[in-house]
Amino acid sequence: MATAAASKLLTATAGVLTSSTSTLTHRRPLTCASGSHSPRLTPKPQDLIKWVRSKGGFVHPQLKIADHSSHGLGLVSDGVIPSGSELVSLPDHLTLRLRWSDDAQDWSDRPNSPLFQLVHRVPEELWAMRLGLKLLRERATVGSFWWPYISNLPEAFTMPIFFSGEEIKSLQYAPLLHQVNKRCRFLLDFEKEVKHLLMETTPETHPFCGQDVDSSSLGWAMSAVSSRAFRLHNLNAQDSVGANVPMLLPVIDMCNHSFHSNARIIQEQNSGNKKMLVQVIADTQVEHNAPITLNYGCLSNDLFLLDYGFVIPSNPYDHIELRYDGSLLDASTMVSGVSSPSFSSPAPWQEKIISQLGLYGNDALLKVTLGGLDLVDGRLLAALRVLLASNVEHVEKHSLDALKSLSEDAPLGLSNETAALRTIVALCAITLHHFPTKVMADEVILKRSDTTSSMKLAIEFRVQKKLMVVDLMTKLSKILRQLTDRQKLG
Ligand SMILES: C[S@@+](CC[C@H](N)C(=O)[O-])C[C@H]1O[C@@H](n2cnc3c(N)ncnc32)[C@H](O)[C@@H]1O
């Protein structure tokens, strides 16, 4: 239901905040920029750098904002910059975050204002929506301090909450579909809550200056924050002190992602006024025309797509989620030809170890993963090794950590290891079989000129998932061949 509803409602466009009562005199006309990057509310990226400098921030003189191929805009070097250089520095007042104070100049920033009440109705896991509400407030405020920043934000985002129902279905991967539907459902429900609360506010206390807010504008704001905010330590005593405080950082948020980034964010306390300073420092020498990149985190493609709207090809941190399930494992042994130890009905001693692994009993956490740096979820590997073993004394000689480690050299013997890995390869084959289309068919759709960009992104996501599984099967088959060779050698 949410999928279909979302496809109708969540359209992120420049008109997301449709003024019902006031004219936005601060809003410049919307002219779409040429080039490959997404259009801005008003495309004047170099003005953003000037604004940051004029407000006391520092941007290295050899930096500019420019097109960064398919990544949209990026912060790019106009000359050679030595390693260790300060690239950008933002004083505390240039970090946009939620700050509540009884004597705040803007009453919206006071505890118990309607904005405060709305923020506190958003669950913590959707933290981006909390700061998104503040962003919408600033976007609606005539003469907002933040307008030069907001006007350079993308007008539209590519997260799957903006996909059509058909495009969401084309992701073909249940855990992500679940997350997308959850977010869409939240936005649709939250729209009602916001509208209800706004009915009770007076024009003076209206958090969005009298403008309508709907699921599209909420989705735009949530996406702007999830794709651009950094969660940093807040060093200031007067408001939300602590780790993981989301902040929007002008100019710094023009840096695109790379796992091999050439810069990093550091936080300092200004020795003069003791306020926080957020800086970007070059980790390596930056060559002429090179983009400044930051590592957004070692994330799976699910999170990159959900929060940032892009997918990384051959992402070493990508994985698939499965539910640990005895009957699925039984099916895998049938596919692999391993003589079935009946995973569904383990012996009591095996059951005990599987419980210790958190895969059995009332408090079991049945989600396991395949892929990523570890290749196989340690708990799944240990469970298979144990369930395929017959000698309890032999198993009990090993710690759970040893049983969970793939690098541990066949702890329960070569034939046990071979059977466990063959079962996992079969599990991979079953997983691949469950995708409704094959990679070759996906590639044909990707090449078609009438495929929308969102559909391409959805297909690229599922192609990467399938290639990741194939790659895992190749790696496991290589280990299996080595085991067979060792078995032959006696
Ligand atoms: C913090 S912003 C970076 C600036 C952004 N490119 C822009 O035009 O404003 C993050 C967004 O940049 C894009 N992006 C960043 N790194 C990327 C990458 N490695 N591949 C593709 N897109 C990327 C995505 O659209 C992402 O949501």
Looking at residue 340, what is its pLDDT?
Answer: 65
Question: DSSP states of 108-151 as a string?
Answer: GGSTTSHHHHHHTTS-GGGHHHHHHHHHHHHHHSTT-TTHHHHT
Residues whose beta carbon lies within 6 Å of some atom of ligand 1? 37, 70-74, 154, 227-228, 253-254, 256-257, 308-310
**Taking the CA of residue 66 as centre, how many other CA atoms within 13 Å lie in the half-sphere pointing to its CB?**
12
**Partners of 247 in beta bridges:** 230
Q: Whose CA is nearest to atom 27 of ligand 1?
A: 308
pLDDT value at residue 13:
36
Mean pLDDT (whole number) for 19-30: 28
Structure tokens at 12: 């992120």
CATH class as words, domain 319-488: alpha beta
Q: Ligand 1 centre and the CA of 319: distance in Å?
A: 22
| Residue 254 alpha carbon, nearest atom of ligand 1 | 4
Atom of ligand 1 nearest to the CA of 152: 9
Residue with CA nearest ligand 1 atom 20: 71
Contact assessment for residue 171 and residue 461, using Cβ atoms and an 8 Å cutoff: yes
Rounded to two decimals, the pTM is 0.91
Separation between Cα atoms, residue 225 and residue 264, nearest integer Å:
19
Give 346-396 pLDDT, tens digit per residue.
999 999 999 999 999 889 999 999 999 999 999 999 999 999 998 899 999
The pLDDT of residue 24 is above 60: no
Q: Are 295 and 304 in contact (CB under 8 A)?
A: no
Using CB atoms within 10 A of its CB, is residue 331 exposed (0-12), middle (13-18) or buried (19+)? Answer: middle
For residue 283, the one-letter residue type is D
Q: How remote is the CA of residue 390 from the centroid of ligand 1, in Å?
A: 52
Please compute, for residue 335, the number of CA atoms within 13 A of its CA located in the half-sphere on the CB side: 19
Domain range annotation of the chain = 2-308, 319-488
What DSSP line would sit under 267-296, residue for residue? EEE-TTT--EEEEEEESSPBPTTPBPEE--
CA of 178 to the centre of ligand 1 (A): 24
Residue 229: exposure state from Cβ atoms within 10 A (0-12, 13-18, ≥19): buried
Nearest to 106 by CA among 136, 144, 150: 144
Which ligand 1 atom sits closest to the C-alpha of 227?
27
How far is the C-alpha of 460 from the C-alpha of 170, rounded, in Å?
A: 10
User: Which of 58-72, 160-174, 226-240, 366-380 is the least confident region?
Assistant: 226-240
3-state secondary structure at position 201 = coil
CATH number of 2-308: 3.90.1410.10
387 in Cβ contact with 354 (< 8 Å): yes
- pLDDT: which is higher, 35 or 473: 473
Q: pLDDT band at 296, cuts 50/70/90?
A: very high
Element (H, E) at 380: helix 378-387
pLDDT at 250: 98
Q: Are 2-308 and 319-488 the same fold in CATH?
A: no
Distance CA(90)–CA(281), nearest Å, equals 12
**What distance in angstroms lies between residue 37's CA and the mean position of ligand 1's atoms?**
9
311-327 pLDDT tens trace: 999 999 999 999 999 88
